[in-house]
Amino acid sequence: MPPRQRRLRGTRDSATAQAVILDAAIREFAAKGLAGARVDAIARAARVAKGLVFHHYGSKQALWVAALEHIYATLRSGQDAAAIEALGPVEGIRELARSTFRLFRDHPEIVALMNEENLHRASNVRASPRIRALYNPLFAGMQRLLDAGRRAGLFRDDVDVTALYIALSGLGYFYCANRWTLSAVFAGDLFREDRIATYESLIADMVVAHLQHGVKPRRPRRSARGTRSIAL
């Protein structure tokens, strides 16, 4: 016997219905991709009438775009630019590398939908100004961290913020996107807590080491009385 459909009316119920439908759609898309997903299955999983799905989202394609916007917003919500920036240049970059990896680990639907969208050459991501806008605050915060690190003599001068984010994001993404094949090849579960902790430390160290490569330690300055003071 099919599950009983929910009766959702009014403004509050409308918002609830949209959220429930979107959650069901993300699970369906993650499991079957855009072509394989069915609106009927989404409606059943959400326990709403199929017509309500079309009422709120218009089409399966529009629902796919909404799902993409949601997963990118989820990814960005775990990359708190202000909190990361407050840690200072070195620890801020370390935490960004770790937190980005954790997001891919904790939300496998992000990996699944990104993989699928790349099959479509990111045509839907390019068409969504909301997704592009999500990264403006993060990139601005990263740039301030890099600038602060340079001024303090901690980071090299030739690092591009976009390339840096692609690198640290890729380090987290690849591990999670390929966990099954990598686990099979290396005969062990890569999602064991001890392995995850080791990898988090590794990628944080790798990113910081790149930023500090070739940076010469600053020599301490002499004060007016001839005693040495630490250069900041």
Give the pLDDT confidence score for residue 143 in this predicted structure.
95
Residue 110 has pLDDT above 60, yes or no: yes
pLDDT in tens, 185-215: 987 899 999 999 999 999 999 999 999 999 9
d(CA 202, CA 50): 47
Amino acid letter, residue 210: H
10-58 folds as Arc Repressor Mutant, subunit A (1.10.10)
How far apart CA 85 and CA 93 sit, in angstroms, is 8
Contacts 24+ apart (CB under 8 A), 94-99: 94/204, 94/207, 94/208, 95/204, 96/142, 96/168, 97/168, 97/171, 97/172, 97/200, 97/203, 97/204, 97/207, 98/200, 98/203, 98/204
**Mean pLDDT, to the nearest integer, of 114-132?**
94
pLDDT attached to residue 147? 97
Phi first, then psi: give them for residue 142, nearest 5 degrees.
-65, -40
pLDDT above 70 covers what percent of the chain?
A: 88
Rounded to an integer, what distance in angstroms lies between the CA atom of residue 146 and that of residue 207? 12
Q: How far apart are CA 229 and CA 107, in angstroms?
A: 48
Q: Tell me: the pLDDT tens digits for 8-23?
A: 444 348 889 999 999 9
Q: What six digits make up the tokens of 76?
A: 């960005």
Which among 190, 146, 191 has a CA at the least distance from the CA of 165? 146
Q: Nearest CA to 93 among 106, 75, 77, 79?
A: 79
DSSP string of 1-50? -PPPPP---HHHHHHHHHHHHHHHHHHHHHHHHHHH--HHHHHHHHTS-H
The predicted model gives 50-74 an average pLDDT of 96
pTM: 0.84
pLDDT over 70 at 232, yes or no? no
In angstroms, rounded to a whole number, what is the distance separating the alpha carbons of residues 22 and 224?
66
Report which residue type is found at 174.
F
SS3 182: helix
Superfamily of domain 69-224: Tetracycline Repressor, domain 2 (1.10.357.10)
Nearest to 139 by CA among 204, 72, 207, 85: 85
Out of 49-53, 157-161, 172-176, 223-227, least confident range? 223-227
User: What average pLDDT does the chain have?
Assistant: 89
Q: Residues with Cβ < 8 Å from 230, sequence gap 6 or more?
A: 220, 221
The fraction of the chain above a pLDDT of 90, given in percent, is 79
**pLDDT, position 98:** 95
Would you kindly state where each structural domain of the chain is located, as residue ranges?
A: 10-58, 69-224
